[in-house]
Structure 1
Amino acid sequence: MRSAADAVTLLGPALAHRDKERVHAAYVAECGLVLAVDEVEGLSCAWIDLPIRHLIGRTLQLGGVGIVIAHNHPSGDPAPSAHDIAATRALANAARVMDIRLLDHLIFARSHCASFRALGLL
């Protein structure tokens, strides 16, 4: 995985048109190879709640150095909410401590996609 476009191609088909919010994570090796893609538990009633310990632990278990997370907004609006931003910052900070890089957080909403990296939020 070398670019945001690669992440969109990998994660978009599973999330773009879902009618309920879901979180997926791609775990990435130093060379850019995707080690695994998981659908992760981490939803409350109205927003994502990123399972930080699980995401960091799974990355370490796989020997990865990076994570791309993605979730969907069934509403059709890909704009990150304040809660999305806070949860992503918490994950990025925890990952940094473990020498893991949060490469991007993508939000899919039907045919639209928002990238935290492109928006300057990472």
Structure 2
Amino acid sequence: MRYQRAEPPLKLDGLSVAQSFFAACFSDADPSRERLIVAHLDDEARCLHLSQHQGDETGTSFPLREIVVDAAIHGSAGIVLAHNHPSGDATPGDSDCRATRRLAAAVQALDCAVIDHLIFAGGDCTSLRSMGLL
């Protein structure tokens, strides 16, 4: 796991902005390895904290507890998740949907919301929010 501080004025206020930001994050990564990036936002969609979790060719762990702890530490109002599918198919899997719903339920107690979960594959990007899965 690697943490990095998000420098202002990074503001993820909309799907197209989030897609562009995360696409840039994945552009320098090994496309054969799955990686999860978690952005914690304040109530004005400014990024407070980023964490990255490296996986392998078959997937990456979904560190639910770590994400919830980070949300509490940083006082997150929202969370945007992004990960890549090395398979080349940006369709969310059942495990993607289940993990996202579990996180949404867990951070709700902190007055935090999962804003979106984006899945990247090749040049495609899928938004769970746009699909009505969040």
Question: C-alpha distance in 2, partners of 1:13/1:108?
Answer: 11
Deviation (angstroms), 1:97: 2.0
Q: Does 1:9 align with 2:20?
A: yes
Question: C-alpha distance in 2, partners of 1:45/1:94?
Answer: 28
Deviation (angstroms), 1:65: 0.8
Q: Percent identity?
A: 33
- Structure-1 residue corresponding to 2:46: 33
In structure 2, the CA distance between the partners of 1:44 and 1:120, relative to structure 1 (3 Å rule), is same
Q: TM-score, normalised by structure 2?
A: 0.82
- Structure-2 residue corresponding to 1:88: 100
Question: C-alpha distance in 2, partners of 1:33/1:71?
Answer: 20
SS at match of 2:115: strand
Q: How many equivalent pairs are there?
A: 121
Deviation (angstroms), 1:40: 2.6
Structure number with higher relative contact order (C-alpha < 8 Å, ≥ 6 residues apart)? 1
Cα contact 1:47–1:83 (8 A) shared by 2: no
Deviation (angstroms), 1:102: 0.2
Q: TM-score, normalised by structure 1?
A: 0.89
SS at match of 1:104: strand
Cα contact 1:21–1:72 (8 A) shared by 2: yes
Q: Give ranges in structure 2 of 5+ residues lacking alignment.
A: 1-11
Q: Give ranges in structure 1 of 5+ residues lacking alignment.
A: none
Q: Does 1:115 align with 2:127?
A: yes
- Structure-2 residue corresponding to 1:103: 115
Aligned-pair RMSD on alpha carbons?
Answer: 1.8
